[in-house]
Structures are given as structure tokens and as C-alpha cells.
Amino acid sequence: MTTPRHAPVLLDRVVALLAPALAHEGSVLVDCTLGLGGHTEAVLRACATARVIGIDRDTTALAMSAERLAPFGDRFQGVHAVYDELPDVLDTLGLHAVDGVLFDLGVSSMQLDVRDRGFAYAADAPLDMRMDGTTGPTAADVLNTYSAAELTRVLKEYGEEKFARKIAGAIVRRRETEPWTTSGPLVELLYAEIPAPARRTGGHPAKRTFQALRMEVNDELAVLRRAIPAALDAVGPGGRVVVESYHSLEDRLVKRAFSDVTRLDVPLDLPFVPEGSEPRFRAVTRGAERADDHEISDNPRAASVRLRAVERVLPPSGAVR
């Protein structure tokens, strides 16, 4: 997302992908991961007649983005929600279809920068990691209540941590004498449990564990699994869904969902496409697009991005043509 030191990843490309769908009067984009509003601001500047509905579960981000986007008046509206609640948001606003839906997944730079949120491992801070700080279990709750087997699953699945079982066992042993409250002792434990040769490759030794805990605390994959089909259902003909992913599991989920709606599901040797069998979406990107070396040098977060986009070409089943 955007702060004075951080720029949205692939900003120009994202705007270019969305602009054709937002060129007409009264067009609406839903920015499902509003953050500080960097993508939304760029869209509002580039697409003079578009409106943006900005969704975020983080109340602090909503307040800050509302201030930033105030000059655009009623062309912007912020909504406090989790992005899998997209259908409810649109229903509440009386919108039957929109022209674009954008996801910039993962943790925002703002959340990493605010020490008390507990997302970063650079300083000792409360083990919170909730994107919505008003509800739900914290990372400390996970560390203090999950069994060793459950912790192993989380670290393996979401962090792709090779030493997941070893780390999980150490976490459980430590909490028997002292509960987990802050990140500093967890970072120390990870340095102790991950062998020295492994610590010298693959970035900071705490990176994978902190990522896994964040994804578990915020139920990120389950939310995304519900949100992508909802986004595809929400756009009308000519509407586009654009997704930036930063984790292989996220990108795999998006890739599968997009493949399902763009695939021609008829025998290859059939001489014609029966009416009603045409794909209702087309791919706008060829596979997943990546950031170039220049952007990665300016914005390290861009190194892992995978950008995919699709466009609806036919109305939803049962819709009036």
C-alpha cells in the first residue's frame, strides 16, 4: 500500500488493466484491499468518471485513506468489512453489478510499520497480527492454545517452513513455563531452533513463521477462497477482476479460479462451440505478470508479486442480455 516511503506494487499496470472497464460514465470499482488508498487514488485520477468503493477490515487504514481521498468527494466511499463480505457490501449499497474488483493481497506496509500491530519481527512488540484489531484471536492466542500438531500444520502450510515440527515443539515447551506475549522471544527461539546453515539462506529466519501466523490469525486463504468467486459474480460484461498475490498458495487459488471461468469446456475435436458453452470470461494477462528488476530495486515487496486479471465477456447465467 502507500506511505511516504512505500508505493503500491505494479501501480501503473494495475491502473492500465482496470481503465478499460472504468471508461464509461458511472463506472464502479471495488478496491477490496483499500489500505492507505494508493491504488484507489491512482484510479480516481486516471478514470475521471469512476467511483470507488474501498473495503478494508483495518479501521485505522480506513480512517487514513478517507482523509487522503477526501478531495475526490463522493467518488470514494469506504466500507469497514472483510473482502469476502463483498456480496453483502454491494447489496447494502444497492449495487447489482460493478465494473471492476481489485485485490492487493497480504499485509500492508502501514501494518508492518506500526510496531504495536505485531506484524514485523524487527522489534519486540505485542503478538497481535490482526488486520482488524477490533475482533478475533491474536497471534499470541494461537501460540498459547494450538497443539504442537496444529502449529506444525500452520507453519508448514502457510510458511513453507522446513523446520515446522521442531519449531512447534519448542513453542509448546516454552509456553509451559511462560506464555507468549511479545515477538522478541519468538524471534530468539527461531534463531535457536533453525540450524545455522539454513539461517544463512532464504531471508530472515523469522520471516516464514511470522507470515504463517499472520495468515492463520486472519484466516486469509479461507477468506480469499470465498472472495474470488464473489468478485467474479459481481462484475458485469466488460468488467474486470485484478488480483495481486504474494504467496504461492494465494496465487494457486486465484489461478485455479480464473482458469475455471476462462476455459472452453467442450471436446477439442468438436467443430463448433455449442451455444451456452462459451467461457464467460477471458484472460487479460498471459499467466501471472511479474515486477521488473527496476521496480523490485525501488520496492522490495514487488519481488514476490504475481498479477492476474480476467474480463467478463458474457452475462452471468440467467441474466437478461
Name, in order, each residue with C-beta under 8 angstroms of 221's C-beta and a sequence gap of 6 or more.
158, 215, 249, 250, 253
Binding site, annotated residues for S-adenosyl-L-methionine: 37-39, 56, 83, 104, 111
DSSP for residue 307: E
Q: How far apart are CA 217 and CA 184, in angstroms?
A: 18
C-alpha to C-alpha distances, 169 to 143, 173, 175, nearest whole angstrom: 11, 6, 10
3-state helix, strand, coil in the chain (%, to 5): 50, 15, 35
The torsion angles phi and psi of 51, rounded to 5 degrees, stand at -110, 155
Binding residues: 37-39, 56, 83, 104, 111
Question: Any idea what DSSP says for residue 174?
Answer: H
**Three-state secondary structure along 39-58?**
HHHHHHHHCCCCEEEEEECC
Cell of 230: 464473489
Identify the H or E element spanning 186: helix 183-193
Question: Which are the contacts of 87, defined by CB distance < 8 A and separation ≥ 6?
Answer: 230, 233, 234
Taking the C-alpha atoms of residue 251 and residue 253, their distance in angstroms, rounded to an integer, is: 5
Does residue 129 contact residue 218 with C-beta atoms inside 8 Å?
Answer: yes
| Calpha distance 189→177 (Å, rounded) | 14
H-only helix segments in 47-147: 59-68, 86-92, 109-113, 139-145
